[in-house]
Amino acid sequence: MSYTLLHHTGCSTSRKGLALLQENGVEPEIRKYMNAGEALSVDELKDIAKKMGNASPRDFLREKDAKKFDLPEDLDDEALYKAMVENPRLIQRPIGIKGDKAVLGRPIEKLLDIK
């Protein structure tokens, strides 16, 4: 079963998470979700939330970017998913996905929970 890492090369935490996985023998499939050709859909974000234990999209929202882009705090989950698709900077990273499990790599050591 392959390990997929939602990765942003411009994020130092994401780069450190990738390095940690590789140091522990995990060579993940990299998905650069910030690139237009690898962008996430609403359905994929909902699937990730389900794999995180039916998490809310707020559980993997970059709060500082939500404030920077004046995202209303009272958005419902559906509107929040759509905002994340339209602006992937709102998605916290890195996120590890393997089988029916997903984990937010904050701290990065959590990425090893599903290796």
Say what the alpha-carbon torsion angle 98, 33, 24, 57 is, to the nearest 10 degrees: -60
Does residue 51 have an active-site annotation? no
| Strand boundaries in the chain, DSSP class E | 3-6, 29-31, 95-98, 101-104
Burial class (CB in 10 A: 0-12, 13-18, 19+), 37: exposed
Give me the catalytic one of 3, 4, 11, 30. 11
Query: Which residues does the annotation mark as catalytic?
Result: 11
